[in-house]
Amino acid sequence: MSYETVIGLEIHVQLATETKLFCGCSTEFGAEPNTQVCPVCLGMPGVLPVLNRRAVEFALRTATALDCTINTRSVFSRKNYFYPDLPKGYQISQFTEPVAEHGHLDIETSEGTKRIGITRIHMEEDAGKLLHGEGAEEDSYSFADLNRACVPLIEIVSEPDIRSAEEAVAYMKAMRDIVVYTGVCDGNMEHGSFRCDANVSIRPVGREKFGTRAELKNINSFKFVKDAIEYEEQRQADLLDEGGTVVQETRLFDSAKGITVSMRSKEEAHDYRYFDEPDLLPLVVPGAMLEEVKATMPELPRAKRDRFVSEYSIPEYDAGVLTATRALADYYEAVVKETKEPKASSNWVMGEVLRVLKEENRDITDCPLEPKRLAELVTMVKGGKINSNMAKEVFEEIYKSGKTAAEVVEAKGMTQISDEGELVSQIDSIIAANPDEAERFRGGEVKLQGFFVGQIMKATRGQANPQIVNKLLKERLKG
Amino acid sequence: MSITNESIHGLSHRLANKEVTSVEATGQFLERIKAVDETVNAYITVADDHAIAQAQEADRRLSSGTNITPLTGVPVSVKDIFCTKEIRTTCGSKMLENFIPPYDATLITKLKAAGAVILGKNNMDEFAMGSSTENSAYSPTLNPWSTAHVPGGSSGGSAASVAADECAASIGTDTGGSIRQPASCCGVVGLKPTYGRVSRFGMIAFASSLDQAGPLTKDVEDAAILLNVMAGHDPADSTSIDAPVPDYTASLKEGVKGLKIGIPKEYFIEGIDPEVDVAVKSAIEVLKEAGAEIVEVSLPHTAYAVSVYYLVATAEASSNLARYDGVKYGMRLDPTGNLTDMYRATREAGFGAEVKRRIMLGTYSLSAGYYDAYYKKASQVRTLISNDFNAAFTKCDVIVTPTAPSPAFKVGERTEDPLTMYLSDIFTISCNLAGIPGISLPCGLSKEGLPIGLQILGRSLDEETVLRAAYAYETATEWHKARPKL
Amino acid sequence: MSITGKDVEYVAGLARLALKDDEVDTYTAQLQRILSYVEKLSELNTEGVIPTAYSVSTSTPMREDIRAVSLERDEALKNAPSTARGCFKVPRIIE
């Protein structure tokens, strides 16, 4: 039988705050275990949570980017369960009244743009990390590091609108772009700053009723999302084809084997006994805060891409590359602002700049060549001061040294020779030195033009303006 | 008068006059504790060294004449529910037998800043769950008036330490009557402020939406003095009220002329001890003679308060007590090397019977399928109880009732019957559910010689009027001067 | 509503409390008595009544995103029954 897959994603986004959701401990990744903890995030007796304002701002920013309805009153709840990475024995989350609902995100698929509904966005605290013992002595223990406990997250729950692994990946990528663009998340999937659970079910094509779903846990790369969903589609289809039934359960993706496995240990306690968190009053978003968030919303990736195409008349492909990150887009725009040459600037940024950054494994945010210095180079090329071969040499130099293009050109005596009188005498002496070639050229062997240009370039150490050389050569060789 | 008999204001006066130093006074209280606490068992931990160091510091302040408050140099005790840096904090539980907090509760910080000397940590019902202090893992506290009787609870150690002159005053907590009911049993003054008036940070949670700290003192003026130090907004407590704090001693003596005192008929019911009935009714007469106007009011949902309370408080408690899991602090039993067994064995052994019973009840009322019938229903009726008070306070300024239906009961009398024990709080619980302030003060002695308490309830954030009415009654009578013969 | 021994065992599991055999019966009886008492709440019509979860009616305050001092690790682990590798040591979790 042929089936249709139905997918809903729950994406966990770690908010890029300085401090935790309910206390002043640092959220920085990679510290020694249990060095970023205090009585509050350790869940010591008698301590109380106080909400981080920036975390709320970030949640509102995300909600705005996803066109959600923002609930001006939302409520924190306790989700009760025991686990050694959960210091209080409950997670502070939002349940009945989340901070935002009813949004959407448009994604690009092979069949065009598709709109995926966002059910809700809620705020919650992360749990700590468990390390497992290795070696005989420690084999029977686990070790709790609570640095990550209480780090702020938002969970973005999609409608079951996604129909394939590809769409799921496109949705996740588009979502990551948005949270990184809006500055609410560093997007680091390896560190777990952006991860997802996928609810996957299948149904016979044409049937409206959803099938029983499996919840795939903690998927932290685009590839794993694809692999996990594809494996799960096949597993469920095989089950149904054999006359079996899909059980509603939590399954863990084993990325090494590329399979999902049932997590029976998590099945037992789904009775979370949610109730309103009495230590935190309802969150009423002040009007001024919401206005501030709306006023300072950055341009989102899609809008920026469209604007680049229309405002700068650059190809869609260029716009796509240049808006891949907000920092790269900002860099490009800073260059264009100086050069007023969108396409030439695009070529330089997409070409040389990205190439050398890639070689050096650097991010655009720590590119040693400021947009202003690159712009100067682009302008010099455009104005005919130097030719493009020279320009590449100059680029390497200004990238490494911190000098301006003018300084490099000056120091190397690289200024382009555009003076026709000077060039004519050079050309004439080259023609005189190569009478055979000159004769063959006049006889119709036009490709020899290249030979003469090469000779002139050699004689002028590459400084001759190639356009003028070409023009003059034709005149002089006609002779 | 001996130093240990003194009220805060009496002792403060003597310290100011250099009749006695704080170190001397502290020494006398420590002697008194040594002499009587073997009998009363009001303390779980006596912090001699810390207390003497604080007294020395207070004496420096007193002799230099700077930074002196009415509490400077005054020895007080605190319920063992407040976290104290470097001093063991057990909350009356075996679970926390060796827990030494790396932080002070906000209230402790405030007491220290005011120059108070903290003698030690008072006995209590485990995790503040109880009405008799018999649920302590550190043996029950006994009533200084009669050691055959309970001191009330859960702040029984605090109330008994004040009544037995083992401190000048004490700080307790009140979730359903845990300050007022033991105050009533021990013949002292006990005030539960408006919810949010005093910081809860560092105060070990029983039921977060109901818990509130307050003073237990030898007279009403002392309650006002302590509240002055305790009250105020705390940025570390999100439920703390950010409202100006008046000087509670300023309007204390203005009398009750013209004050409207409401008497709720639902509180004078069958089953109330006749001696209590008589004592409270004559107290109302005293207030009337002092110029108050007596009006009848109705609090129609009173009969449901105990039910609401035992569903709401236990639900919150079941969650608040989940952190005692043998991982980060406290006791651990690990019989099998399996995580779930570790949790279950630890919590089975670390908690006493009443705590476990309440965790079970609270877990049940929140669990799938029962939430609407129990927790949600109770939260709705809680709204009705609040509404009752709002309506009543349109007709009167304060409400006067008995604090407890009977004087202190006998040790062991109710331990086998949780429900009857719960009904000891029948008159104090509504006040917590509505978040309003209430005070208990002595208004008589039974034939057996046990104290009887009068409860005065007020509008939200109107502790001033509550204290003023209490002070007016106290000055017109002698009950607060009665002392147990220990 | 009546509570059964099975309910008591389920709740004890959720609450991570070990029960001795005789305790199941004791708890069942005691909880039953309390639940029968609270049953009187069902007399009241509470349709449309907004539940009260808080005693304060304002909005939750927010703190600025500014770092505060964390505990020294020794201090954080000091009260723990078992530690190793700078962590809280617990029986192994099987996933």
Domains located in chain A, CATH noted:
3-290 (no CATH), 299-412 (no CATH), 420-478 (1.10.10.410)
Return the number of other C-beta atoms located less than 10 Å from residue B60's C-beta: 14
Q: Which residue has the higher pLDDT, B226 or A440?
A: B226
Q: Say yes or no for a CB contact (<8 Å) between C94 and A26.
A: no
- Check if C62 contacts B (Cβ < 8 Å): no
The β-bridge relationship of strands B212-217 and A194-204 is unpaired
Cβ neighbours around A294 below 10 Å, total: 12
Quick one: DSSP state of residue B205? P
> What gap in Å lies between CA A219 and CA A253, rounded to an integer?
7
Which member of B77, B161, B178, B318 is catalytic? B178
Give me the residue from C31, C51, C90 closest to B327, CB to CB. Answer: C90
Which residue has tokens 């476990």? B356
Q: Rounded CA gap, B19 and B26, in Å?
A: 14
Residues of A in contact with C73 (CB under 8 A): 32-35
- Higher pLDDT among residues A430 and B375, named by residue: B375
Highest mean pLDDT among A260-274, B118-132, B417-431: B118-132
Best to test chain B binding among C31, C32, C36, C38 (most B CBs inside 10 Å)? C38
Domains, chain B: 3-258+397-481 (3.90.1300.10)
Closest CA in chain B for residue C87: B328
pLDDT of residue A405: 83
Q: Which position has the token pair 């209280």?
A: B29
A56 chain-C contacts, CB cut-off 8 A: 62
pLDDT at A462 over 80: no
Residue B12 pLDDT greater than 70, yes or no: yes
Residue C66 in domain = no
User: Would you say residue C37 lies in a domain?
Assistant: yes
Nearest Cα residue in chain C from A77: C53
Residue A479 has pLDDT above 60, yes or no: no
> Is there a catalytic annotation at residue B79?
yes
Q: Which of A91, A312, A423, A334 is nearest to B319 (CA)?
A: A91
Beta bridge mates, B439 = B191, B456
Interface contact A281-C66, CB threshold 8 A: no
Within a domain: residue C10?
yes
Chain B within 8 Å of C61 (Cβ-Cβ)? Answer: yes
In chain C, residues with a C-beta closer than 8 Å to the C-beta of B343 are 16
* Length of chain C in terms of residues written: 95
User: Looking at the partner chain, which of A50, A140, A273 has a beta carbon nearest the beta carbon of B363?
Assistant: A273
Which among C14, C62, C95 has CB closest to A51?
C62
Across chain A, what does the average pLDDT equal? 90
Average pLDDT of chain B is 96
Residue A244 has a pLDDT of 87
Q: Please name the residues in contact with A192: beta carbons below 8 A apart, sequence gap of 6 or more.
A: A14, A220
pLDDT in tens, A168-201: 999 999 999 999 989 999 999 999 999 999 999 9
Contact B380 C82 (CB under 8 A): no
Domain encompassing residue C9: 5-41
Residue B238 annotated among the catalytic residues of the structure? no
The Cα of A28 is separated from the nearest Cα of chain C by a number of Å equal to 11
Q: Does C12 touch chain B (CB under 8 A)?
A: yes
Instruction: Evaluate whether B4 touches B144 at the Cβ level (below 8 Å).
Output: no
When mean pLDDT is compared across A216-220, B36-40, B216-220, B336-340, the lowest value belongs to A216-220
Give chain C positions within 8 Å (CB) of A19. 65-68
Say which of B154, B155, B406, B446 is annotated catalytic. Answer: B154
**Which residues on chain C are in Cβ contact (under 8 Å) with A38?**
68-71, 76
Q: What is the pLDDT of residue A265?
A: 53
**pLDDT score of A447 more than 90:** no
Q: Which residues pair with residue A112 across a beta bridge?
A: A109
Q: What is the per-residue pLDDT across B220-254, written as a single tens digit (0 to 9) for each?
A: 999 999 999 999 999 999 999 999 999 999 999 99
Band (pLDDT 50/70/90 cuts) for residue A136 is low
How high is the pLDDT of residue B188? 98
Whether residue B242 lies within 8 A of chain C, CB to CB, comes out as yes
> pLDDT at position A268, please?
54
Cβ-defined contact of C66 to A42 (cutoff 8 Å): no
- C69: chain A residues, CB-CB within 8 Å: 24, 38
Contact B359, B344 (CB under 8 A): no
Assigned token pair, A198: 């996928």
- Report the pLDDT value the prediction gives residue B45, as an integer from 0 to 100: 98
Average pLDDT over residues A314-323: 90
- Distant-in-sequence, close-in-space partners of B478: CB < 8 Å, separation ≥ 6: none
Q: Is pLDDT above 70 for A404?
A: yes
The ipTM of this complex is: 0.96
Domain presence at residue C30 = yes
The C-alpha atoms of residue B411 and residue B134 are separated, in whole angstroms, by 8
What is the chain B residue with the closest CA to A280? B238
Residue A37 has its nearest CB partner, among C70, C85, C92, at C70
What is the Cα–Cα distance from B192 to B180, expressed in whole angstroms?
A: 7
C38 touching B (Cβ < 8 Å): yes
pLDDT digits (tens, 9 = 90+) for B81-133: 999 999 999 999 999 999 999 999 999 999 999 999 999 999 999 999 999 99
Q: Alpha-carbon distance B18 to B64, whole Å?
A: 12
Mean pLDDT, residues A103-107: 94
The number of domains in chain C is 1
Lowest mean pLDDT among A51-65, A203-217, A415-429: A415-429
Residue B178 catalytic? yes
Q: Which of B203, B235, B319 sits opposite A46 (nearest CB)?
A: B203
| Whole-number pLDDT of residue C75 | 96
pLDDT of A464: 80
Q: How far apart are alpha carbons A290 and A294 in whole angstroms?
A: 6
| CB-CB under 8 Å, A39 with B102 | yes
State the average pLDDT over residues A8-23.
97
Looking at the domain assignment, is residue C23 inside a domain? yes
B345 in C contact zone (CB under 8 Å): yes
Q: What pLDDT does residue A264 have?
A: 65
Which residues in B90-103 are b (16+ Cβ under 10 Å) and which e? bbbbbbbeebebbb
**Does the distance separating the beta carbons of C75 and B307 come in below 8 Å?**
no
**Interchain contact, C11 vs B100, CB within 8 Å:** no
Task: Summarize the confidence of residues A139-149 as an average pLDDT.
Answer: 93
The Cα B97–Cα B332 span in angstroms is 11
pLDDT at B356 over 60: yes
At C22, which CATH number? 1.10.20
In a domain, C83, yes or no: no
B12, B77, B79, B424: the active-site residue: B79
Who has greater pLDDT, A199 or A268? A199
C-alpha dist (Å) from residue C46 to B368, B384, B388, B391, C54: 20, 9, 14, 18, 18
Mutate to test the interface with C, among A28, A143, A265, A283 (most CBs of C within 10 A): A143
Q: C-chain residues within 8 Å CB-CB of A138? A: 84
Over residues B406-431, the mean pLDDT reads 89
Within an 8 Å CB–CB cutoff, is residue C45 touching chain A? no
Between residues B242 and A434, which one has the greater pLDDT? B242
Nearest CA in chain A to B200: A46
Q: Is residue C47 part of a domain?
A: no
Q: Is C89 on the interface with A (CB under 8 A)?
A: yes
Is B307 close to C41, i.e. CB distance below 8 A? yes
What percentage of residues in chain B have a pLDDT greater than 70?
100
Task: Please give the pLDDT value at position A266.
Answer: 53
**Per-residue pLDDT tens over the stretch A229-249:** 999 999 999 999 998 888 888
- Whether the CB of C69 is below 8 Å from some CB of chain A: the reply is yes
Q: How far is CA A16 from the centre of its chain?
A: 15
Question: What distance in Å separates residue C42's CA from the closest CA in chain B?
Answer: 8
- The answer to whether A21 faces chain C, any CB pair under 8 Å, is no
Per-residue pLDDT, A349: 93
Task: Of A235, A284, A293, give the one whose Cα is nearest residue A259.
Answer: A235
Q: Report the gap between the CA of C88 and the closest CA in chain B (Å).
A: 6
Residues of A with Cβ-Cβ distance to C62 under 8 angstroms: 50-53, 56
Order of strands, sheet of A129-132, starting from the edge strand that comes earlier in the sequence? A129-132, A141-145, C87-91, C83-84
Q: Which residues in chain A touch residue B128, judged by CB atoms under 8 angstroms apart?
A: none
- List Cβ neighbours of A143 (8 Å cut-off, separation of 6 or more): A33, A130, A131, A132, A133, C84, C85, C87, C88, C89, C90
> Which of the residue ranges A17-31, A247-261, A349-363, A395-409 has the most confident prediction, judged by mean pLDDT?
A17-31
Confidence of residue A25 (pLDDT cuts 50, 70, 90): very high
d(CA B431, CA B193): 10
Answer whether C43's CB lies under 8 Å from C50's CB.
no
Residue B85: its chain C contacts at CB < 8 A? none
State how far the Cα of B130 lies from the Cα of A90, in Å rounded to an integer. 25
Query: Hey, which residues 90-149 in chain A have their CB within 8 Å of chain C?
Result: 130-133, 138-146
DSSP per-residue codes, A216-249: EEEE-SHHHHHHHHHHHHHHHHHHHHTT--PPPE
Residue A382, both tokens: 């455009």
Question: Taking each helix axis from N to C terminus, what angle separates A222-241 and A165-181, rounded to the nearest 10 degrees?
Answer: 150
Cα nearest neighbour of A269 on chain C: C14
Instruction: Report yes or no on C29 lying in a domain.
Output: yes
Residue B261: pLDDT over 60? yes
| Residue A135 pLDDT grade (very low, low, confident, very high; cuts 50, 70, 90) | low
pLDDT band at A137 (very low <50, low <70, confident <90, very high): low
Q: DSSP H helical segments within chain C, as ranges?
A: 5-14, 21-38, 73-77
Cα diameter, chain B: 70
Q: Given a cut of 90, is residue A463 above it in pLDDT?
A: no
